[in-house]
Amino acid sequence: DGGITQSPKYLFRKEGQNVTLSCEQNLNHDAMYWYRQDPGQGLRLIYYSQIVNDFQKGDIAEGYSVSREKKESFPLTVTSAQKNPTAFYLCASNRGWTDGYTFGSGTRLTVV
């Protein structure tokens, strides 16, 4: 079955470390997205990519970086510059423009 796979499901990071969250899709979707979810704040867009080797900043890109070397993969790096990285991170994809998202199951990142 097609879908989006995020890994790991839980991730613990020490302060000052960079960590990379994986997102892979086999839906042949062109567009991929990273969202951060905090209680009571809904979903906030971090980065998105509509085509391989191209990506744009979302509303809260500071402290994050991404790459899109393959259509299937859109990894997110949470850098030490991100002041409050503890959150639930969701990856999504769609065929583009006004098609509904397919979401992954999320990665819960905790800074210890």
Q: Is 102 in the site for another protein (CB under 8 A)?
A: yes
Between 17 and 28, CB nearer to another protein: 28
Q: Is 22 in the site for another protein (CB under 8 A)?
A: no
Between 48 and 64, CB nearer to another protein: 48
Question: Residues near 41 by Cβ (< 8 Å), separated by ≥ 6?
Answer: none
Residue 68, number of CB atoms within 10 A of its CB = 19
Query: How far is it, in rounded angstroms, from Cα 29 to Cα 17?
Result: 31
Token digits of residue 53: 């080797």
Binding site residues, another protein, CB under 8 A? 4, 6, 31, 33, 40-43, 45, 50, 90, 92, 96-98, 100-106, 108
